[in-house]
């Protein structure tokens, strides 16, 4: 039995190595290489369907001022992202994005962005953001997850391990239930409240850096990020909010943000 396990592990490792060689893409801004086996069109198709279903099953906020703030902030940052991508030859990276920003009436300190630019904020996070610049910290961070294709990468990694890198279209036809399970485990919505399942700390740190730059390009002061995460950390007590469950330790995050700040401030114009 031990020999079989070793061979199996070696096979998985070799498969992933081959896929990494053939299926690599590059994250804008950070330049990190990532595994990407799932086409953008396939990922966004699943994302858009899931997002529409979520909106049907959850109550949207009727607070016009707050809803308008979320939409205004999202549109500003999305426009800045599109300009940056166009100026740096990355327009194809966000081709097919269909930006949408909604505020859900739920007392949960959370927010997420699905592949293709589908964003949800919960009213429970607004006491922590406090103002539009605080909201921009979260908006930039969540949009960064989508721009960096963290959901695609996570699903690609799962498919490499569980299906040996089978193409998504083939997997859907031949193993629909297994593929759906991988999708939900990789980046799908949690059953209880519709949380996007936690990203890795590598992804979170990368989204922090990219998010600072995105909010700065949109005209929001990136220095607000340190204040926002300080408020989130202070609220955690013995058990941090769901939004922070897999994020870097508070001190580490704030140090990283401060280290990124000089670069982000280059993009900031009041």
Q: Residue 230 falls within a domain, yes or no?
A: yes
Angle at 23 between CA 19 and CA 26, to 5 degrees: 130
pLDDT in tens, 209-249: 999 999 999 999 999 999 998 888 887 654 444 445 555 56
CA-CA distance, 251 to 247, in Å (whole number)?
11
Q: Is the pLDDT of residue 269 over 80?
A: yes
Q: Is the pLDDT of residue 12 over 90?
A: no
CA-CA distance, 176 to 157, in Å (whole number)?
18
Q: Residue 186 falls within a domain, yes or no?
A: yes
Q: Residue 48 falls within a domain, yes or no?
A: yes
Q: What is the pTM of this model?
A: 0.80
136 vs 202 pLDDT, higher one = 136
Q: Residue 4 falls within a domain, yes or no?
A: no
Q: Residue 3 falls within a domain, yes or no?
A: no
Q: Residue 220 falls within a domain, yes or no?
A: yes
Q: Is the pLDDT of residue 165 over 50?
A: no
Q: Is the pLDDT of residue 202 over 70?
A: yes
Cβ of 214: how many Cβ atoms within 10 Å?
A: 28
CATH number at residue 248: 3.40.390
Range of the domain at 197: 9-265
Q: Residue 181 falls within a domain, yes or no?
A: yes
Q: Residue 1 falls within a domain, yes or no?
A: no
Look over the chain and give the mean of its residue pLDDT values, rounded to a whole number.
80
Number of domains in the chain: 1
pLDDT, residue 201, reads 79
CA-CA distance, 123 to 219, in Å (whole number)?
23
Q: Are 206 and 230 in contact (CB under 8 A)?
A: no
């Amino acid at each position: 039995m031990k020999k079989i396990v070793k061979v199996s592990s070696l096979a998985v490792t070799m498969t992933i190595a081959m896929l990494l060689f053939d299926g690599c893409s590059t994250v804008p801004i950070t330049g990190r290489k990532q595994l990407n086996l799932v086409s953008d069109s396939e990922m966004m198709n699943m994302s858009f369907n899931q997002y529409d279903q979520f909106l049907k099953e959850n109550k949207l906020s009727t607070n016009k001022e707050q809803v308008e703030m979320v939409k205004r902030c999202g549109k500003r940052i999305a426009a800045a992202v599109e300009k940056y991508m166009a100026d740096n030859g990355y327009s194809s990276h966000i081709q097919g994005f269909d930006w949408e920003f909604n505020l859900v009436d739920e007392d949960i300190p959370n927010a997420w962005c699905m592949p293709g630019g589908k964003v949800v904020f919960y009213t429970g996070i607004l006491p922590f953001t406090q103002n539009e610049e605080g909201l921009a910290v979260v908006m930039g961070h969540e949009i960064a997850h989508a721009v960096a294709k963290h959901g695609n990468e996570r699903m690609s990694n799962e498919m490499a391990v569980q299906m040996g890198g089978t193409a998504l279209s083939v997997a859907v036809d031949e193993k629909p239930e297994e593929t759906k399970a991988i999708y939900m485990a990789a980046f799908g919505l949690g059953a209880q409240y519709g949380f996007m399942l936690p990203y890795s700390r590598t992804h979170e740190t990368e989204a922090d850096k990219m998010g600072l730059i995105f909010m700065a390009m949109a005209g929001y002061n990136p220095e607000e990020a340190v204040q926002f995460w300080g408020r989130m950390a202070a609220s955690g007590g013995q058990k941090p909010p769901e939004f922070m469950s897999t994020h870097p330790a508070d001190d580490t995050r704030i140090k990283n943000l401060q280290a990124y700040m000089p670069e982000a401030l280059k993009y900031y114009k009041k």
